[in-house]
Amino acid sequence: MSIFDGKRLTNAAFKLDLERMRSGWYSDKYFENIVGMLQILSQRGYRFQGTSHRLEAHGINPTGIDIGNIVVEMQWFTRRKPYSIIAGVDKALAMIEGCTGYFDSNGNFVNTYRSLEVEAVQDGGKVSYDGDPMNVRPVIKVRGRYRDFALLETPTLGVLTRATRIATNVYNVLKAARGKPVLFFPARFDAHEVQAADGYAYHIAVQRFNLDYHGTSSSSVSTDAQGDWWGGLGGGTVAHAAIAAFLGDTVEVMMAFAETRPIEIPRIALIDFDNDCIGTTLAVMDALFARYRELSDTGKTHEAQRFKLYGVRPDTSGTLRDVRVPPLGDKRLDMGVTPRLVFLLRDAIDQAWESWDIPTAWHEQARQWCADIKIVVTGGFDVEKISNFERLGVPADIYGVGWRCSRIATSTALITTLPPILCGCRSMAHGTIWPRSGGKRATIPTWNLCPVHRCNGRVCVRSRQLR
C-alpha cells in the first residue's frame, strides 16, 4: 500500500520464489541455525535454565520460559539522517505472509501467518531520524513465534533497504532539481531482476515529492519492467549504439528515427558522439526543420510533427572536454557536461533560426521551433551536481540520473527483536512488548503503523496514514 492509492501490492506483482524462501535459500545461514535449534528445543520440551540480568532487573524470574516457542516482537526501522522515504513495505509483507511457518515431519509447509500480529506503514511515508538510536521509528512490527519467521530477516531487510535507499535518493535529486523532470536510467548498471522494484521505488519518490512540494512531475523510466508494479512504460529515443550503427552520422539516424518511430515518441537527439555537442545539434536542427517546413508548406501538418525536435541530450564523458568548451585547466570546469557547455548550447539553439534561408513569413515559427527544444542533461548527475546547476541557473530542462540513485548512502534499514517478557525500557527499543503469559503490555508511544490483519482470507489494512 502506498499513501497515494491506499492499495497494497501482493505477490501477484512480486512473483516471489516462496518455496525456496521458506527453506532459507535467501537467508543468512545463522538464521537457519536459529530456527533448527529452536525447533529441536521445542520438541525436547526445553525450558530456559540460564540467567537474564535484564529481566531480573525488573523482578522477573526467567527460569522455565519456553525458548523453543518464544514469542517476540520484531521491528524493522531506518537510521538514515535526516529522513527516509519508505518503500518496499508491501514486498516485505508479501514475504511474511507467504513464508511464515514451518515444515512438518512429512516435509509439508504449514503456514502460520494467521497467528501473527503485523503492523506496517505505507510505502511513500517519510520517516525522520535525528541520529539518536533510542529514537527510531519502526516501519514494520511483527509479533509471534520467532522461529516461524526468523528466516525472513535477511530478505525483508534487503528489500526495504534497497527500495528505501532508492526512493530517498530520488527524492533528494528531485528536490535538488527544483521540480524539473528527472529521468530514471539505472537499469544498465544493475541486474535486470531488480528493475521492477527499483522503478517502483523511483515512482514512490516522485509521488512523495509532488505531495510535499505541490509538484506535477511525472515518472519517466527507461524500461517497461521498471513500470511493471505501477503501470508505467519505458521511454527513450536514441543510444550511442544507434549512431554507431549509422556509421557515426547523428543527422542520418535522427532523420530515420523521425521517419519510422511513432509520432508520440519525443524526438531527443543524442549529441555528443563526435564530442561537438553544438555542431551536432545545429546539423540535426537544420535537417529536421527543413523537412518540417517542407511538409508544413504542402499541408501535411500532422506528418510534419514527426520532425519536431523535442530536445537534445549532451552526455559527454567526464573524461572528455567538448570541443566548443574553452579549456580552463580545471577538470571540474572543463570535462563532461558542464554549466558552460549547456549555456553555450542554449544560446546556439535559440539563435540557429537566424542563419536559415527561409521566407520572412516563417521567421516567428522557426524561432519558436528552436525555443521549444529542451536540453536533457545526463552523465554523472547526482544531488551535488544538480544543485550546482540550479544554483548557477544553468538552462537545463530535464535531468537524467543512473547508478547514483541506487548507490549506498548511510544505513537505511535495521531490525531488532525484543523478548516476550515485559520489557519497555528505552535502553532496549521502542514499542509494545508482548508478555508470553499474564501481566500487562508495556507501551511506549509509537507512530503511524497500520495494523495488518486477516479478514475473510484477505489482507486488510486500516487506513491510518503516515504523512
Architecture field, domain 11-165+410-461: Alpha-Beta Complex (3.90)
Domain boundaries, the chain: 11-165+410-461, 167-405
Query: Between 367 and 131, whose confidence is greater?
Result: 367
- In the numeric block, which cell numbers belong to residue 399? 535531468
Highest mean pLDDT among 4-13, 93-102, 183-192, 212-221: 93-102
pLDDT attached to residue 412: 53
For residue 68, give the DSSP letter. G
Residue 7 vs residue 240, higher pLDDT = 240
Arithmetic mean of pLDDT over the chain:
88
- Is the model's pLDDT at 109 over the cut of 50? yes
Q: How confident is the model at residue 402 (pLDDT cuts 50, 70, 90)?
A: confident
pLDDT value, residue 403: 75
Q: Phi and psi at residue 429, in whole multiples of 5°?
A: -175, 175
Q: Please report, rounded to a whole number, the percentage of residues in the chain having pLDDT higher than 90.
A: 78
Decide if pLDDT at 48 tops 90.
yes
22-42 burial code (b ≥16 CB/10 A, e <16):
bebebbeeebeebbeebeebb
**CATH class, 167-405 region:** alpha beta
* pLDDT reported for residue 411: 46
In the predicted model, is pLDDT for residue 175 greater than 60?
yes
**pLDDT at residue number 451:** 65
Alpha carbon 6 to its chain centroid, in Å, reads 19
Q: In this predicted structure, what is the pLDDT of residue 414?
A: 64
Could you read off the pLDDT of 217-247 as tens digits, one per residue? 999 999 999 999 999 999 988 999 999 999 9
Structure confidence at residue 189 as a pLDDT band (50, 70, 90): confident
Buried b (16+ CB within 10 A) or exposed e, 107-138: eeeeeebeebebbbbbbbbbbebeeeeeebbb
Residue 436 has pLDDT above 50, yes or no: no
Check: CB of residue 117 under 8 Å from CB of residue 462.
no
pLDDT of residue 55: 87
